[in-house]
Amino acid sequence: MPATPSYDAIVVGAGPAGTTAALAMAQKGLRVLLLERGESPGSKNMFGGMLAACAAPEELIPGFWKQAPWERHVVKRVLTVVGEGSSTSVVHQSDAADREPYAGFTLYRPVFDRWYAERARDAGVTLLCSCLVEGLVLRDGRVGGVRVARPQGVIEAPLVVACDGVTSLLAKEAGLHAGFTPHQLALGVRALFRLTEDEVDDRLGLSGLQGATNEFLGCTDGVRGGGFVYSQVDTLSVGVVAHLDSLTQKRIPPYDLLARFVASPWVAPLLKGARLAEYSAHLLPEGGIAMVPRLSAAGLLVAGDAAALCYTNGLTFEGMNLAMTSGKLAAETAIEALASGDTSAAGLASYEQRLRESYVIRDLKTWARAVDFMRRDQLFSAYPRMVGELMERVYRSDGQPKRRIGRHGLDVARESLPLRQLVRDGIAAGRSFL
């Protein structure tokens, strides 16, 4: 006789998506089991970035953004284009971003994820850490639970929410996708450097827990990708993100790219006297909307990185907010489906509709062309060099008659790339961003 499942839903992975889903379901009285393979939530996660404040967790926990253990609120965004021996930056700093409610935060995932999962436990979620889900229970054409490396072996439930991260092994097992490929993924490596709070303030021009994000283009030896420096209270996250297919083509190890970036004149002065504290790596889904798998099957919903809900358009980098929002929408779908007793494929199909109506899929669609645009090698080599060369000429004062900026621009462009290429890239840029 089959045992009665003692949980209404099993959530796999206590990251931002999974914890949000578990919390939202528990608040509606469902019995939820949240499984995490790390010894504590966040211990397998790294993050060098800015989390954009989003409504999802605030709707579940009023005052969320006031309580959550973030590091600095971001007031300053810097984009630096690295050329041949030069760099050119655009700095955006905003008073509005310095007032509550803050718009973006830097944080440590092992700290943030752990705190957030505790809030889910407060709401009644059963959190089980150090528990690896080895696969799904597939029976009669539907998902009916998970297999774990524990004495009981199998945990059954009418619904599984897979928030198992970028490798997305559960969605793959369920046949929702065929496995992500190198051209859909980027590899991020990060070194964490310890300074004092004052040193971080002084070096980045900040005060009173203000934070800065710094992105660098053209610093990756022609590999498609970029560098970053993010400020926590008394540390800097310094890293490189590289498209996996480009890294494979160029045959440059990611830690070598990182070491060169750290030693570069644009980064080294920030790190003077800093102590290296930790090294980490993680994959990022960067294939845009085309990479998003089917999002549900009978008895299964997929959210967060596992559903490839993550993107960059070259200026903004979003993932955690999309993960939390998708987790909440998965929970809303689950609550309805479990109440009606229909967790079939048809019963869960409204999840995709909810995502399509939300900013999650809409943003991915908005930037669909930008994702393709960012796959042009010259954006990471020829164009950054052109910017550097142009600015050199604009600022040069050497006793020769000056030319107008537009003239310099045309000269530099013609010297760098064939006209046809420039026109093609220009049109593509327009279609991607305008």
Partner 1 sequence: MIVDDLFDLTSFRVHREAHIRLDYERCRPCDHRACTFTCPARCYEWSQERSRVEFAYEACLECGTCLTVCDKDALDWHYPVGGFGVRFSR
Q: Quote the least distance from Cβ 97 to partner 1, whole Å.
A: 24
Nearer to partner 1, 139 or 279 (CB): 279
* b/e sequence 229-257, b meaning 16+ C-beta within 10 Å: bbbbbebbbbbbbbbbbbbeebebebeeb
Give the separation between CA 109 and CA 130, rounded to whole angstroms.
17
State the residue for tokens 């003077």: 272
Nearer to partner 1, 317 or 351 (CB): 317
Q: Quote the least distance from Cβ 421 to partner 1, whole Å.
A: 28
Contact positions vs partner 1 (CB under 8 A): 37-39, 42-46, 108-111, 129-132, 134, 148-149, 166-167, 180-182, 185, 187, 189, 191-192, 232, 235, 244, 247-248, 251-256, 258-259, 262-263, 271, 276-283
Peptide bond into 158 cis (omega under 30): no
* Contact in structure between 156 and 3 (CB atoms under 8 Å): yes
Nearer to partner 1, 180 or 373 (CB): 180
Q: Quote the least distance from Cβ 18 to partner 1, whole Å.
A: 15
Nearer to partner 1, 261 or 351 (CB): 261
3-state SS string for 183-214 = HHEEEEEEEEEECCHHHHHHHHCCCCCEEEEE
With a CB cutoff of 8 Å and minimum separation 6, the contacts of 236 are 192, 193, 195, 200, 229, 230, 270, 271, 274
Tell me the two tokens of residue 143: 């998902």
Q: Quote the least distance from Cβ 37 to partner 1, whole Å.
A: 5
How many CB atoms neighbour CB 286 within 10 A?
28
Q: Quote the least distance from Cβ 262 to partner 1, whole Å.
A: 5
Nearer to partner 1, 161 or 247 (CB): 247
Which is it for the CA torsion 65, 70, 75, 79, positive or negative? negative
Q: Quote the least distance from Cβ 263 to partner 1, whole Å.
A: 7
Nearer to partner 1, 56 or 262 (CB): 262
Nearer to partner 1, 169 or 337 (CB): 169
Give the separation between CA 412 and CA 396, rounded to whole angstroms.
14
Task: Give me the long-range contacts of 134-142 (CB less than 8 A, separation at least 24).
Answer: 135/169, 135/170, 135/173, 136/160, 136/170, 136/173, 136/174, 136/300, 138/173, 138/174, 141/298, 142/297, 142/298, 142/299, 142/343, 142/344, 142/345
Q: Quote the least distance from Cβ 377 to partner 1, whole Å.
A: 18
Nearer to partner 1, 168 or 432 (CB): 168
Nearer to partner 1, 189 or 370 (CB): 189
How many CB atoms neighbour CB 171 within 10 A?
27
